[in-house]
Amino acid sequence: MYILRADKKERIDIFLSEKLKYTRSYVQKLIKKGYVRVNKNVVKSSYVLKEDDLIEVQEMLPEKLNVVKENKPLEIVYQDKYLAIVNKEAGIIVHPAGRKKENTLVNRLLFHLDGLSGIGGVVRPGIVHRLDKDTSGLLVVAKTNEAHLKLSEMLKKHQIDRRYIALLKGHLDSRIGTIDIPLTKKGGGEIKIIVSPSGRYAVTHYRVIEEIGPYSLVIARLETGRTHQIRVHFAYIGHPVVQDYLYGGRINENISLNRQFLHAYEISFIHPIIGKRVTAYALLPEDLQKALKELRAKWKKKK
């Protein structure tokens, strides 16, 4: 338990995140679950502290894990006692959601790794950030709560460099550019993200590395990491990711690819505990390599 004395007027969630070096979202979770009391009283995250308020913070009690371990393939690119970097295959979601309790990345992590942080909750152990179901590539996973909190803060401060390879429809006006367009979730059951002036700040940097017929192969670097960010940003400027059915990327080419051409190929950051830079790479998976080969062969003949 932590016992603190307020020394200024400030929202309690902001005060505790600064004092305890926790993420604000984690502090808000503690407050919501009743693990934080001010002068012996339960408060809300919006409570504004007064000088000399006495704050008690309890550690969150561990919840029983109800997700099964699955002995299915998992490529571990890097691992130490604090964190791991894994290469997620396309077609699986990152963590259980709704009725989907099996065949997720978390099920495999639980089997292959010797420990995961508990901050994400019972269905999201170790999960610091996500990839869409049909996006392949690298994810960093926390094995300890300390690493989880620090990695989450690094993401918030844009200190984790994430790069993707994407194949887009059409040719972009500039071979190097930045898309700075706010995004928000569209109402309704289906998860779909739309551009909105009142949405969350979202920035994607890109560089064209090859043009294949009417398509552009690009490297995209995330400055922020909003849901579907790369897919929505490129769709909005008229160049959706190839085979991204949700955002207008379906093509009529005779290729075998049946998911969006998007792969997280590089991740790089200063290790939050050890202090040394960690950089990992993941080659394009076979389905994306095959699609490129098919398109190059077709459009080379047409030149």
Average pLDDT, the chain: 90
Instruction: List Cβ<8 Å contacts ≥24 apart for 125-130.
Output: 125/65, 125/67, 126/84, 127/94, 127/95, 128/152, 128/155, 129/155, 129/160, 129/225, 130/94, 130/95
Q: How many percent of the chain have pLDDT more than 90?
A: 68
Average pLDDT over residues 66-81: 92
- In order of their start, the domains of the chain are 2-57 (3.10.290.10), 75-156 (3.30.2350.10), 161-301 (3.30.2350.10)
Q: Above 70 in pLDDT, residue 62?
A: no
Give per-residue pLDDT as tens, 15-28: 888 888 777 878 88
pLDDT surpassing 80 at residue 40: yes
What is the band of 120 on the pLDDT scale with cuts at 50, 70, 90? Answer: low
Check pLDDT > 60 for residue 64: no
Mean pLDDT of 84-95: 95
Catalytic machinery residues: 132
- Res 290 pLDDT > 60: yes
d(CA 35, CA 42): 8
Instruction: Return the closest-CA partner of residue 96 out of 121, 119, 73.
Output: 121
| Helix, coil or strand: residue 9 | coil
Instruction: Kindly report, residue by residue over 186-205, the tens digit of the pLDDT.
Output: 876 667 899 999 999 999 99
pLDDT value for 303: 61
Model confidence at 207, in pLDDT bands (50, 70, 90)? very high
Q: pLDDT per residue over 233-285, tens digit each? A: 999 999 999 999 999 999 988 899 999 999 999 999 999 999 999 999 999 99
pLDDT at residue 204, rounded to an integer: 97
